[in-house]
Structure formats: structure tokens, C-alpha cells
Amino acid sequence: MTVSALILLYTKTNIMSYLDIKSEKISPIIEELNILLADYHVYYQNLRGFHWNVLGKNFFDLHEKFEELYTDARIKVDEIAERILTLRHHPESQFSSYLKIASVTEVSSMISDQEMVNHILNNHEIILKQLSKVVKKAEAAGDEGTIDMIGAYIGNLEKVSWMLNAWSKDTDSQLVGK
Ligand SMILES: [Fe+2]
């Protein structure tokens, strides 16, 4: 074996040995994770705009809630990007790419507080669909690390959505499903 072949073998075994997933099965997961990363970035920026521009009697509640949500989104952006790196790929890192591939769209923050909450609920719906796509691709590859991480995101986002939905209701609508 030549020296260069030995170096190649050494590099391959050392870099790839911790992943027990076939490389061809990783690419579809990466594709969906990059879309999720883009979705979270646009969602994050929507929340920042809402945090800055919210007005009215609900200002103190919503200003703080939007900050809590964008702080959570910022953490998830980093975790998603680092999951992609853990799977030995590079995350998308340019906003121009995010805007091309994201399903979540930019929203003007010159709207009412109720419209802001409606937009956030809509963004959550889109992100939840994308999270499901990631899980399906990860299941097909036996990628337990991604399934575990994304599973927690789903439960968390569903819970926050329930709370925002409850906030949107009148106090006389007593049925949760209404
Ligand atoms: Fe602030």
C-alpha cells in the first residue's frame, strides 16, 4: 500500500468511524435539515421584528414572549447547523440561500399583535411539517441522533403553539378545540 493510500485510509477511518449510517442515506437528511435551518432563520427574524414593533395593551406580555421564542429559535439554529456538521456535511450559511429554500416566508412587523400571533402559529405549522420530513428521512437511515433531537423540537413547538392558540381565544370560548 502506498503512503498516500495509507493516509487516505487513516483519514477515512478516523473521520467516519463514529457514524454508523451509510453515507448515501445521509444526503436526504442533510437536504431536509438545511431547509429546516433556513425555516428557523426566517422565523427568528420574523420574531425579532415582532418583538421590536409590537404595540398596544399586550405590549409587555408579547414583547417578552417574542424574545423568549427568538432566543429558543437562535439556540435551535445552532443545534441544527451543528447536527449537519456532526453528519459530516456543511450547513447553509448565507441568508440568500435561506430565503431561496425556506418554506417560512418573511413577514412585515407593521401589523397588529393578533396578526403577529397568527403569523407565528402559521410559521409553527410550516416548521412542524418540516420537522416531520426530517424525522422520516432520519428514520429511513436509522439516524437515532437526529430523530432524538428533532423529536424534542416537535413536542416543544406543539406546546408553544397550544399556548399561543389559547392566548388568541376569547375567555368565553371554553372548548380547547374551538
Ligand atoms: Fe429586546
Ligand 1 centroid – CA 175 distance (Å) = 34
Residue 97 has pLDDT above 70, yes or no: yes
Ligand 1 centroid – CA 6 distance (Å) = 54
pLDDT tens digits, 35-49:
999 999 999 999 999
pLDDT tens digits, 141-158:
999 999 999 999 999 999
When pLDDT is cut at 50, 70 and 90, the band that residue 14 belongs to is very low
Ligand 1 centroid – CA 66 distance (Å) = 9
Ligand 1 centroid – CA 52 distance (Å) = 7
Question: Residue 172's pLDDT is what?
Answer: 75
What is the greatest pairwise CA distance in the chain? 78
pTM of the complete model beyond 0.85? yes
Mean model confidence pLDDT for the chain:
92
Residue range 47-56: mean pLDDT, rounded: 98
Ligand 1 centroid – CA 63 distance (Å) = 8
Ligand 1 centroid – CA 64 distance (Å) = 8
CA distance 30 to 85: 10
CA distance 121 to 142: 31
Instruction: Report the percentage of the chain scoring pLDDT > 90.
Output: 81
Question: Residue 39's pLDDT is what?
Answer: 98
Ligand 1 centroid – CA 67 distance (Å) = 7
Ligand 1 centroid – CA 119 distance (Å) = 20
Q: Which of 95, 64, 77 is nearest to 37 (CA)?
A: 77
Residue range 49-61: mean pLDDT, rounded: 97
Residue range 11-21: mean pLDDT, rounded: 65
